[in-house]
Amino acid sequence: TSPDEEVVRRRGRRIISPGNQFALTPPRTPTKRQLPPKSSSSTEHPQTPSKAQLSLSPVRSSPRKRLLLPAEISDAIGASPSKKLVSPVKRLRLQSRDAEAETEVALTGLTKAQLVTLLKDTMGRSPDAKQVIHELLPKPDLAHSVQKLEKLLHQIYRAFPQKHWGNSRDAFCFRRVQIPIETFKRKCLERAQQLCQAEQWCSLL
């Protein structure tokens, strides 16, 4: 070896004093065997206090007393103020109005056949009721039926082909408007039969 290499080797060596040899090494983590044994103390799992300890504790163990009021005051508090203020005569009037409203609401849920049966039974029990119903009987309302027929007629005109170089009465046009015409005819006959059965000849014309 050359003298230069010897100088480099001497510079690379670290001179450690005997007192600092143990200070440079990190401390070791103690293993399970080296750990001290756990003491069987009740700090981790506290026990439930006994009855004797509860009796000595300052916390109240007796049930809380309820506030007892006289019967008159409790009844006055529990009663609704609207019922207390309403007189008996007015209460009867309100009950009769409720009964009338319930009857009107119940009539709206009946079908046409049920309404006809109800009117027949009413007229059979009282002849005066038959006269009153005959006087108050209105004419059939045709506005809804006319509106439906106008829509069906509009569908017939819409079914006509817009661009057709032939006659408007040929087979092609007839096939296009056949279904709307049949629907229009069926609705007209159904409403006419209803008016015939009801003998409403003026409305039928």
Q: Which of 60, 78, 82, 62 is nearest to 70 (CA)?
A: 78
Query: Taking 80 as the threshold, does the pLDDT of residue 95 lie above it?
Result: no
153 and 193 co-located in one domain? yes
- Are 177 and 131 in the same domain? no
Last residue of a domain, one of 118, 136, 154: 136
* 93: in domain: yes
Scored b (16 or more CB within 10 A) or e, 164-178 reads eeeeeeeeebeeebe
Residues in the chain: 205
Where is the domain boundary, 116, 136, 156? 136
- 151 within 8 A of 184, measured Cβ to Cβ: no
Per the domain annotation, does 99 fall within a domain?
Answer: yes
pLDDT tier, 159 (very low <50, low <70, confident <90, very high otherwise): confident
Would 200 be classed as within a structural domain?
Answer: yes
Q: What is the pLDDT of residue 154?
A: 92
Largest CA distance in the chain: 148
- Per-residue pLDDT tens digits for 14-58: 555 655 555 555 666 666 666 666 655 545 555 666 655 555 555
Q: Give dist(CA 199, CA 76) in Å, integer.
A: 64
Q: Is residue 7 part of a domain?
A: no
Instruction: Domain count for the chain, please give it.
Output: 2
pLDDT (average), residues 121-150: 86
Give tens-digit pLDDT for 161-178.
Answer: 877 666 777 788 888 888
Of 136, 151, 181, the residue that ends a domain is 136
Q: Kindly state whether residue 55 falls inside one of the protein's structural domains.
A: no
Question: What share of residues in the chain are helix, strand, coil (percent, to 5)?
Answer: 60, 0, 40
Q: Same structural domain for residues 155 and 188?
A: yes
User: Residue 176 has what pLDDT?
Assistant: 86
Residue 177 lies in a domain: yes
User: 181 is in which domain, residue-wise?
Assistant: 143-204
Are the C-beta atoms of residues 173 and 161 closer than 8 Å to each other? yes
